[in-house]
Amino acid sequence: MRLFVGDDWAEDHHDVELMDERGRVLARGRLPEGVAGMARLHELIGEQLGEGADDAEVVIGTETDRGPWVGALVAAGYTVYGVNPLQASRYRERHGVSGAKSDRGDAHMLTDMVRTDSHQLRAVAGDSPGAEAVKVVARTHKTLIWERSRQVQRLRHQLREYFPAALEAFDDLDAPDALELLGKAPDPAKAAKLTRAQISAALQRARRRDIPGKTTVILAALRSAQLGQPPAVTAAYAVTVRSLVAVITVLNEQVKTLQGQVEADFGRHPDAEIYRSQPGLGPVLGARVLGEFGDDPHRYISGKARKNYAGTSPITRASGKRKIVAARFIRNNRLTDALMAQAFAALSASPGARALYDAERACGTGHNPALRKLASRLVGILHGCLKTRTLYDEATAWPQREKTPQSDLAA
């Protein structure tokens, strides 16, 4: 017996529907989030299965693949499909074009979807707790880096409005010396009064090189003639700059702290050595790739499947005599970002990777498409290493190649 369950989740409740193999609705309900709701779901399933529960398969569809609720469903032995919201939206349109939508209706749609189309869906991966931990800290670390970049851009915008000399004095606004000096002197008048000793001390604490030369450049920029704002406006901008400096300083500290945690969690994972052996992958970038791919050995049936998930393989749109090959834009952007960074780093770490990139560029391929093709090749190499449990070997990964890059695309 197979029992199908649709679970439309919200922040504090779940609308569920149970259906048999013939499409007959057996039960519906709204369950609270948490232990009580999970217990009630088990009761509903048990009531329908009866004495045949041990031999039955329970298939559940829900629009998420993570969280305590999904973890509890997988732990209970149910087959859980994390349905992409875009897939769910398209399936909904198959049964009605009015645009009507409700939580109860979505639960019914998810139930029917896993009943009829489960062979087209991907079951929630059985990643280990270690891989999940790496994913959590690696994602948070990258998110904080992105947030720091946003705050630095805000700081740059503020300085351009009233204190452009600061942009000439400091190349990196998130550097410790720039943050320290801007915190002490956030307006042109105070900055012009900074002494050579104060600036040199800040540069020394930031472990800069050529401190005398850099001090001279900073002093000259801060004391140069410049256009300004009225005193009241300048004071207002200075207050905002002090706040942004404080935020960026805290983000710098937390990024450094989380980097240590990322490296520690990644180093404890059994696959870490294989990832570290790949060209262009260090502990942080390797942790991001491992966390996004997961470590379920049965998730990717082939290197092609792994490339498709990574978004590095192209998609083909063919109709009649028209055929277009384009890059994938619906993908895991965090994973694609990490793989493109790996491909760029591999250019100086692997002669084979450099040769493939140069061959593509010689054929007129742009930088990003060439880098994406290299990333796709590296994903295939990684898949082979993980499948055979072997470390990366340059000679094995890049055998004698033809001069045309098409042979690499077919590999």
Mapping DSSP onto H, E and C, the string for 178-208 reads HHHHHHHCCCHHHHHCCCHHHHHHHHHHCCC
Return d(Cα 18, Cα 257) in angstroms, integer. Answer: 46
The torsion angles phi and psi of 60, rounded to 5 degrees, stand at -120, 135
Q: What is the pLDDT of residues 196-232, one digit of tens each?
A: 999 999 999 999 999 999 999 999 999 998 888 999 9
pLDDT for res 410: 42
pLDDT of 332 reads 84
Strand ordering across the sheet containing 13-19: 25-32, 13-19, 2-9, 57-62, 79-82
Distance CA 378, CA 397 (A): 9
**Beta-bridge partners for 324:** 317
Is pLDDT of 370 > 90?
A: yes
Paired with 57 in beta bridges are 2
Phi first, then psi: give them for residue 16, nearest 5 degrees.
-125, 155
The answer for residues whose C-beta is within 8 angstroms of residue 289's C-beta and 6 or more apart is 275, 281, 335, 338, 339, 342, 382
Query: Is 326's pLDDT higher than 80?
Result: no
Local confidence band at 401 (pLDDT 50, 70, 90 cut-offs): low
- In angstroms, the CA 212 to CA 321 distance is 68
